[in-house]
Amino acid sequence: MSKKGRVRQRKKGRTARWAIMASVWTFFLALLFAMVARFLMDSIQSIIFSFVVLLVIILIGVVFDTMGMAVAAADEKPFHAKAAKKISGAKQAIYLIRNADQVSNFANDVIGDISGVVSGVVGALIILNLTMLTPGLSELYLSIFLTAIIAALTVGGKAVGKSIAINRPNDLVFVIARLLSGLKSLTLESKRRSR
């Protein structure tokens, strides 16, 4: 087998492993998101709080979709100079960009799609609570209206996020990388203190 054939074979193997891993991650994260949302909706009967939970879930989907798009559109070159100057987050940015396919898949498809599904579930729970509190409300019209609102907020938010991600991908990737670098520093610091 030629060298190109072996490289292609390795890439196929990596892609297959990533697809399986992404599916497993999606399953467990979807369970976690749904259980947390359901717990919040069951424990706090406030309709206003229910809408806040819904908006937070939609926002998570929009933010992760924006992150995934930014990583896919970013250019690695400017971060090499920052890494040479040992600027915090530069190495993480290079790593994110070099693994853009997996990062984008995780951010857009895993987290983004889970947020979409869970926002639908939360919307259904809000409709159920509203119709139980106000028996005169039409469940049909309420569900149509709330579905339209969820779709509009999700699509509108993602459109704005994608526009920002395409126009300023390196800036967004650097912000994400700096956050990851800060989290890494915090976890290392807490491990040192626990010893």
Q: What is the pLDDT of residue 60?
A: 94
DSSP 18-73: HHHHHHHHHHHHHHHHHHHHHHHHHH---HHHHHHHHHHHHHHHHHHHHHHHHHHH
Q: How confident is the model at residue 9 (pLDDT cuts 50, 70, 90)?
A: low
Cα 121 to Cα 74: distance, rounded to the nearest angstrom = 34
Q: What is the pLDDT of residue 63?
A: 95
Q: What is the pLDDT of residue 111?
A: 87
Whole-model pTM: value is 0.79
Nearest alpha carbon to residue 58 among 129, 149, 139: 149
Cα 117 to Cα 32: distance, rounded to the nearest angstrom = 12
Domain ranges of the chain: 10-74+100-168
Q: What is the pLDDT of residues 39-97, one digit of tens each?
A: 776 776 778 888 888 999 999 999 999 999 999 999 999 999 888 888 888 899 999 99
188/151: higher pLDDT: 151
Q: What is the pLDDT of residue 70?
A: 95
31/66: higher pLDDT: 66
Q: What is the pLDDT of residues 93-139, one digit of tens each?
A: 999 999 998 899 889 888 888 888 888 888 888 888 888 888 777 88
- DSSP alpha helices (H): ranges in 99-138? 100-104, 112-133
